[in-house]
Chain A
Amino acid sequence: MTLALALEQLLNGLQLGVMLFLMAAGLTLIFGVMGLINLAHGSLYMVGAFACATVAAWTGSFWIGLVASLAAAAAAGALVELVVIRRLYDRDHLDQVLATFALILMFSEGTRWLFGSFPLYLDIPPLLQGAVALPGGTEYPVYRLAIIAAGAVVAFGLYMLISRTRLGMRIRAGESDREMIGALGVDIRTLYTVVFALGAALAGLAGAMVGALQSVQVGMGEPVLILAFVVIVIGGIGSIKGALLGALLVGVTDTMGRFLLPKILALFVAPAQAGMIGGAAASMLIYIVMAVILAVKPRGLFPAAHA
């Protein structure tokens, strides 16, 4: 194992972490402010990817597609909030889970109906094609570096939004006492819709960026959703800072586990066996990390104050 390989894997872990952060930020924001468990968050990720792929195919520009993905996911999020989610705030979590699970099915079938079951294409824009040289003599895809940069920008933007703006102040107030800010005359319904649309837009952005790396297809959001839930449970439900650190932890743990576990096992057993056992163990690793963290800190790394 060389230093260059370790560096490349670390970047891979960061990139996965940044992606997960975009998903987890919306999820944790929505839970923190509205107390709502939104399983359909993965569907909004899918909406973003499909919007980007479709618009990019129409216009020939990935960038217009990217803007479209933000708009489409935010619009889908706002619509869902107005029509369905609004009725769920006062219900218990089981009702929320059932209703948002139904939304997953509706989004998936709707998308299949519109686009068919075959994956769509979405190519990386020419500007971000190819790889650049890294110190240590290795190369790294430009596009993945761009994802890391985009994630850093979003994280900084969210921090500024929440700590420096009036909207952010209301979000923080909503997190600590929902009834009170309603009583103080803040239009809580609009605030909820805005927060939901914001979370949806972040998911849509993640979907669009990942869509160019992978394939854009129905059901692409659910595996990411599961990881995003792991992230917010580790980070502390409702905490943006927790979501960021949790996402980076999960991203790096998963990538490094996939890379190192088979190598470590290969010291003890035959390579074929090591590959198989190591691969299986690596897929469990983040859940083991989650279990350990919850054993030490049952409410996650950064528990939100009110919960």
Chain B
Amino acid sequence: MKKMLAAATLALSMSTAGMAFAEPLKIGMITTLSGGGAGLGIDTRDGFMLAIKNAGNKDITVVTEDDAQKPELAVQIADKMIQSDKVDILTGIVWSNLLMAVAPSAVAQGKFYVSTNAAPAALAGANCNKLYFNAAYQNDNLHEAMGEYANKGYKKMFILAPNYPAGKDSLTGFKRYYKGQLAAEVYTQVGQTDYAAEIAQMRASGADGIFVFLPGGMGIAFMKQFAQSGVKIPVMGPGFSFSQDVLPAIGDAAIGAKASGQWAPDFDNAASKKFLADFQKEYNRLPSIYAVQAYDAAQLIVAAASKASVKNADAFGAELKKADIQSPRGKFKFNTNQHPIQDIYLTEVIKQNGVITNKTVEKIFSDHGDAYAKDCKI
């Protein structure tokens, strides 16, 4: 009897794992695979494809294209994917300015958009949409956490971000929680590679801490130049500024930097360990925060598709919203505006066995949602 039960359970579990969906599902991934932001897009794609591969389902196809971090290109690709590739779901965009160009029109055409990273405030509040999900965070979140952290021991902060939607969200988020004084609030150009003028201002500002949000190549350039400048003020930032895609290039200059994140490679849960092992086996490098977010986005889609057809938007959306996945982040659920509620941690850059990576220091926020959900009526 016991044996029979075990066999039945096994058969059942095999049938769900390999179960064919009611209908084939086509996912369009638009992400940045060339230029200064390529590292982010490659981790996004690889994390996403890892979860798709693990699902082992032949009925899911993913088409991937490079947006080269250009909004106009992203719009063209999205049109092509919707009209000629006939995708059901769009995903993968790293940058908020590109997302703002693509996602609102995609959901207006009845397609789902599941974001792996970009999460502008404009789509989290009054303009939320039942076809738009974000598997990463809301843009402000990690910066809010650093604002909260900076309250402990920093009296006068110099804050800096690129001049685009996520940059504005970043400093807004930081200021929402930070109670101290601001030495300066500086916006730089997106894609800027020389920060000499800004570093000179930091030196003269009298700040006791510096908060920078500079994802991708921008962060590499900034940290290298900062390390050479002789300025001794401690630097902190959201996880993106010190994520695994940029750490090897920044080198030892990053060691000791504090950042915030929803995940770090030392997370002690089964899903995280499996993800880390699978990712390293498949791609032979450490995953970044972007890879985790994309991995979860793919897991969410796979989980929803096993319960409902994507052609039935209401049912599929309801399944997505249940977030029935094992996230490497640990706790993960959706808020009313379909953005995550999750824990956010303080991390520190360390060198371990010759590899520069992040370790978790402490939890900053528990079950953290966002400030815009209350304006979302869906």
Contact = CB atoms under 8 A, between A and B. Distances in A.
A217 B200 contact: no
B197 A220 contact: no
Contacts of B198: 258
B204 interface: yes
B377 to A, nearest CB: 29
A119 B220 contact: yes
Interface string A173-210: 00000000000000000000000000000000000001
A117 B39 contact: yes
A231 to B, nearest CB: 15
B84 interface: no
B186 interface: yes
B181 to A, nearest CB: 11
A120 interface: yes
Nearest to A144: B196
Contact of B251 (A112, A123, A130, A131): A123
Given A8-B203, A275-B186, A217 B217 contact: yes
Interface stretch (B15-23, B29-37, B109-117, B313-321): B29-37
Given A214-B217, A219-B34, A276-B163, A121 B251 contact: yes
Contacts of B224: 124, 212-215
B203 A118 contact: no
Interface in A224-273: 255, 258-259, 262, 271-272
A74 to B, nearest CB: 24
B34 to A, nearest CB: 6
Nearest to B230: A131
Interface string A1-24: 110110011001001100000000
| Contact size range, B | 35 or more
A279 B230 contact: no
Interface string A109-132: 000100001111101100001110
A100 interface: no
B194 A213 contact: yes
A139 B227 CA distance: 13
Contacts of A12: 196-197, 200
Nearest to A139: B230
B225 interface: yes
A119 B200 contact: no
B201 A5 contact: yes
Given A8-B203, A117-B42, A219-B35, A16 B196 contact: yes
B284 to A, nearest CB: 12
A307 interface: no
B221 A5 contact: no
Contacts of A210: 193
Interface in B341-358: none
B217 A118 contact: no
A57 B317 CA distance: 50
B5 to A, nearest CB: 50
Nearest to A133: B230
B336 interface: no
Interface in B209-241: 217, 220-221, 224-225, 228-231
Given A119-B246, A219-B36, 20 more contacts: A5-B204, A12-B196, A117-B38, A117-B42, A118-B38, A119-B36, A138-B204, A139-B230, A141-B228, A213-B194, A213-B224, A214-B194, A214-B217, A214-B224, A215-B217, A215-B220, A258-B198, A276-B187, A279-B163, A283-B189
29 contacts: A2-B204, A5-B201, A8-B203, A9-B197, A117-B42, A118-B38, A119-B246, A119-B249, A121-B249, A138-B203, A139-B229, A143-B228, A144-B196, A213-B194, A213-B225, A214-B193, A214-B224, A215-B193, A223-B193, A258-B188, A258-B197, A259-B197, A259-B201, A271-B182, A275-B185, A276-B163, A276-B168, A278-B187, A279-B189
